[in-house]
Amino acid sequence: MSTDFYKILGVSKDAPEEKIKKAYRKLARKWHPDINPGNKEAENKFKEISQAYDCLGSKEKRALYDEFGAEGLQAGFDTQKVRQYSQGGGFQQGERRSRREGFGRYQSYEDIFGDIFGSGMGSSGFQAQSPARGRDLQHDMTIDLVSALKGFETELSMQKAKACGACGGSGNDPNATLSTCTYCGGSGRLDVAEGPMHFTKPCPHCQGHGQTGKPCTACGGSGQVLGTEKIRVTIPKGVKEGSKVRIAGKGEPASNGDQPGDLYLIIHLKPHPFLKRIGDDLYMDVPVTVREAMAGGTIDIPTVDGPVKMKVPSGSQTGKVLRLKGKGAPHLKTKTRGNLMVKLVVKVPQTEDPEILAAVQKMDGMYQGDVRSAIRI
């Protein structure tokens, strides 16, 4: 039930200002926490009395309360908008409050408050009527790095709830006779609050249809059964660890045949033996011979797009990083490519050939000082 400030103060709705003030003072003296130390009931009663007087003791607030109820005191309440809805023919009285119809694009007062407050919620917290969309689903999907870079199409077989074929998702036995719902009287809605403003919600017993029947034997009345569905999906180029790929309409079906939810694939990447992705750049270690490092040369580098030629500068050391522009990962949104960063690793041959060992001995004379002289701990 809605809060009645007049009842709390024990005065009539046409009580003058002085009488309201007198009633408040009398009750405040009786229930004040200083008079009732440690009494939780008295403390709550005093708060209730104070709230009532805060409203009725103000001409402006009392006028809003008399016209719209406690909802009219909410922050952001648009009085002109409510008056426009209520006086412009958008509200028509039905036979019963629980069966009101003719609200234009609104089904009930909570829908109107959802529009007024811009939140999709009535001021008392009731959800405005909207389609009962199916639940979204999430599934993990593990793929290799190269497939993620190139993108691909595949077909998934998934076990998921789907609309019952026997009853079309209604949950009612199609061979049984429907009867008027005894809980809502066939209106499909129930009262959830009384007062100056009226609130209703969809009837939970008939799901807002106003009629009930015998539960479907195939799905037990749930409207859904477990089945296997093959889904064709496209994984776009450039997905990375944690990327979400949305497949519209492939989530759980909605009750009563409404819009199904979506399926989200959460992408995970297998480690690659040679490639590593950081941002949109790819990193790769590439071995080179002593001769290639010292004299320089051109070597083949494998990329996602196929092998490309890369020039190795003479005198290259292990750890030198060379860049192949535009050979990295594609960005999911901009489609621009990162770079392939190639780190050279000089490989020394394993041999005991005297001539080779003599040559490298001679090579030592080419170093200018101790190569480890800069190392400190």
Instruction: Tell me how far apart the alpha carbons of residues 305 and 373 are, in angstroms, rounded to a whole number.
Output: 43
CATH number of 5-117: 1.10.287.110
Model confidence over 43-81: pLDDT tens digits? 888 888 888 888 898 888 898 888 878 777 776 566 776
Hey, where are the domains in the chain? 5-117, 131-166+222-272, 275-364
- For residue 376, what are the CA distances in angstroms to 127, 155, 370? 69, 58, 13
The mean-pLDDT minimum among 28-42, 72-86, 103-117, 275-289 falls in 103-117
Among 70-79, 154-163, 318-327, 363-372, name the most confident range: 318-327
- What's the CA angle centered on 30, arms 28 and 36, to 5 degrees? 105
Q: Which residues contact 291 (CB under 8 A, 6 or more apart)?
A: 297
Question: What superfamily in CATH does domain 131-166+222-272 come from?
Answer: Urease metallochaperone UreE, N-terminal domain (2.60.260.20)
What is the topology classification, in CATH, of domain 275-364? HSP40/DNAj peptide-binding domain (2.60.260)
* 131-166+222-272 and 275-364 in the same fold: yes
HEC profile for 136-174?
CEEEEEEEEHHHHHHCEEEEEEEEEEEECCCCCCCCECC
CA dihedral 225, 226, 232, 235 (to 10 degrees): 120
Residue-wise pLDDT for 275-300, tens only, equals 999 999 999 999 999 999 999 999 99
Instruction: For residues 219 and 166, give the distance between their C-alpha atoms in angstroms, rounded to a whole number.
Output: 8
Q: Among residues 276, 180, 159, which one has the least CA distance to residue 225?
A: 159
Q: Please give the pLDDT value at position 337.
A: 96
Find the helix or strand (DSSP H, E) in which 355 lies.
Answer: helix 354-364
